């Protein structure tokens, strides 16, 4: 056994002499990759067949491996207090690390891995401070500070550069207003549990709706809060400040839902309304806040259009869009004496019969004061689909489904988008040749479609809030057998919109069809978005 371990030790020495020679001859990136490979090989040799784990030579070998690894991790890692700088070896951060004992108590008090995520770097020194990145932030320890201030989180929000101008304090009882911003009520509990401004920092923004990531978010100096659109109210998580500051290699190895994308947002008063109504009711967002031709500030969603209330700029209301389409108002009919319906009377005993299930559905979102009064009776369309329209929206009832999607809003916002969405180009506007600020919005003619129907894919190409004309994105559709079909969209129109009809896709019920829309810049850099629809064959 002694000779066997001695042989292992000699192999280790030879191995790391080889590593030194390789490092001297290879390029920097090749050296890092080779050192990482040698470290893994080192541990494998040290542990292979080592049943006697208390043997001193075997333990020395493992310790030697770890020391080499530590040297690799710390080499060149600097932080100057004003931003992440220096020759940080990003390749060493493809994995997670143990939280250093120096920070473990502070880390656990703040919620540990469940809230902050794992450590994504080893401990390192920055000036007089010892610091360590976790996914949600950067923990700092300053030994020279007073005892109560030695442990803190770094103001990564300020370093990243997220900051909105202060706003006037709202006259709403119970609102928490700090540093010119209102703390969103769903985030307030976690803000206080973590220690308020001392740990989280002051708010840098108001509440935002991030249209790219489908979430409600708010940025503070040291941490960022968010809640996904489809999550229950109060299901608050932390944005990955630490991952973002650690840069692209860290981001590539982290859950994407938590990664920052500071440019994609809806401001107040839209953000809080989107949070309250939910993406399942509104559908996807297709535009930023913009000024409509009649001067109203509005945002277009799949199912309706929201505008700033002209009588109260702190709230939004739905725009009356239904009568702008080819929807003929129905004459009032006799009110039914039926427990399954209620009657909205307009002329004596005549009016519009509304199914109680529609009434209950609307009550969750503000009732008839939100939808507006009915303008049609419930009307059959096709294949078991029924629709009733109100002044602001239409409700569909689909007999072909058995889950909660049986009752849903009709995608009338999409129709408004196609007919009426225009943004005036600034004087002297020149279409950008880069994709830095370009947004691609995509949607389908139907979330569910049968194998015998043609699916229409639409795309809107915007540079910030300005539509880009004569752009020709590409479409890649992944077929049920895993193959891909490629298509070219026609050029975008003055509203930045283009559409393409797909041939029917023969597939069984429940088949998910993924697709990707991409736009290429003149430098051949691509920006892409992905989405999907479902094949559902009606009985």
Identify the weakest region by mean pLDDT among 21-35, 119-133, 242-256, 360-374.
21-35
Q: pLDDT of 372-406, one tens digit each?
A: 999 999 988 877 889 999 999 999 988 877 655 68
pLDDT given at position 25:
34
Question: What is the pTM (predicted TM-score) of this model?
Answer: 0.48
Q: pLDDT of 32-57, one tens digit each?
A: 343 444 444 344 444 443 334 444 54
Cis peptide, bond prior to residue 269, ω within 30 of zero: yes
pLDDT given at position 120:
87
pLDDT given at position 48:
43
Q: Would you give the DSSP letter of residue 265?
A: -
Of the pLDDT bands very low, low, confident and very high (cuts 50, 70, 90), residue 319 is very high
DSSP per-residue codes, 278-317: -HHHH--B-S-SEE-TTS-EEEEBSS-EEEE-TT-TTSEE
pLDDT given at position 262:
54
- For the cut 50, the answer to whether the pLDDT of residue 415 exceeds it is yes
pLDDT given at position 400:
77
Of the pLDDT bands very low, low, confident and very high (cuts 50, 70, 90), residue 93 is very low
pLDDT given at position 44:
42
For residues 508 and 416, the answer to whether their CB atoms sit within 8 Å is no
pLDDT given at position 261:
57
pLDDT given at position 265:
64
Quick one: angle between helices 28-47 and 56-74, nearest 10?
Answer: 160
Cβ atoms within 10 A of the Cβ of 282, count? 23
pLDDT given at position 101:
93
Of the pLDDT bands very low, low, confident and very high (cuts 50, 70, 90), residue 486 is confident
For residues 156 and 242, the answer to whether their CB atoms sit within 8 Å is yes
pLDDT given at position 387:
92
| Helix or strand run (H / E) with residue 138 | strand 137-141
pLDDT given at position 508:
82
């Amino acid at each position: 056994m002694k000779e066997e371990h001695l042989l292992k030790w000699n192999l280790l020495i030879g191995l790391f002499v080889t590593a030194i020679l390789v490092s001297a001859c290879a390029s920097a990136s090749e050296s890092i990759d080779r050192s990482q490979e040698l470290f893994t090989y080192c541990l494998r040799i040290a542990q292979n067949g080592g049943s006697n784990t208390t043997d001193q030579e075997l333990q020395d070998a493992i310790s030697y491996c770890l020391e080499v690894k530590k040297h690799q991790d710390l080499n060149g890692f600097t932080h100057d207090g004003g931003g992440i700088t220096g020759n940080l070896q990003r390749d060493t951060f493809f994995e997670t690390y143990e939280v250093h004992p120096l920070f473990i108590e502070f880390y656990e008090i703040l919620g540990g891995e469940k809230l902050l995520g794992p450590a994504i770097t080893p401990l390192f020194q920055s000036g007089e401070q010892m610091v360590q990145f976790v996914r949600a932030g950067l923990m700092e320890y300053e030994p020279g500070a007073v005892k109560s201030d030695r442990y803190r989180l770094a103001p990564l929000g300020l370093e990243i550069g997220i900051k909105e101008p202060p706003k006037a304090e709202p006259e709403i009882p119970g609102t928490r207003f700090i540093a010119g911003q209102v703390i969103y009520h769903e985030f307030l509990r976690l803000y206080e549990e973590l220690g308020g401004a001392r740990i989280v920092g002051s708010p840098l923004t108001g509440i935002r709706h991030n249209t790219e990531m489908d979430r409600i978010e708010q940025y503070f100096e040291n941490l960022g809060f968010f809640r996904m659109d489809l999550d229950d109210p109060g299901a608050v998580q932390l944005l990955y400040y630490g991952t973002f500051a650690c840069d692209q290699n860290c981001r590539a190895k982290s859950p994407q839902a938590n990664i920052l994308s500071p440019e994609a947002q809806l401001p107040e008063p839209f953000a809080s309304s989107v949070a309250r109504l939910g993406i399942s009711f509104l559908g996807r967002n297709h535009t930023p806040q913009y000024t409509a031709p009649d001067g109203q500030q509005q945002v277009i969603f799949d199912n309706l259009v929201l505008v700033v209330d002209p009588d109260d700029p702190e709230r939004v209301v739905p725009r009356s869009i239904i009568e702008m389409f080819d929807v003929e108002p129905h004459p009032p009919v006799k009110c039914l004496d039926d427990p399954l319906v209620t009657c909205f009377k307009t002329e004596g005993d005549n009016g519009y019969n509304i199914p109680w299930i529609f009434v209950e559905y609307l009550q969750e979102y503000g009732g008839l004061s939100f939808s507006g009064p009915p303008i049609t009776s419930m009307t059959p369309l096709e294949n078991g689909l029924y629709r009733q329209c109100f002044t602001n929206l239409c409700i569909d009832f689909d007999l072909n489904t058995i889950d909660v999607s049986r009752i849903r809003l009709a995608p009338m916002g999409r129709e408004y988008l196609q007919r009426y969405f225009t943004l005036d180009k600034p004087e002297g506007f020149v279409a950008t040749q880069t994709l830095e600020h370009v947004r691609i919005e995509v949607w389908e003619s139907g979330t569910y479609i049968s194998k015998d129907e043609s699916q229409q894919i639409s795309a809107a190409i915007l540079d910030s809030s300005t539509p880009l004309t004569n752009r020709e994105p590409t479409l890649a559709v992944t077929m049920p057998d895993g193959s891909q079909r490629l298509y070219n969209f026609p050029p975008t129109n003055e509203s930045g919109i283009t559409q393409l009809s797909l041939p029917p896709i023969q597939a069984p019920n429940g088949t998910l069809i993924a697709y990707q829309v991409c736009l290429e810049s003149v430098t051949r850099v691509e920006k892409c978005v992905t989405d999907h629809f479902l094949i559902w064959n009606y009985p």
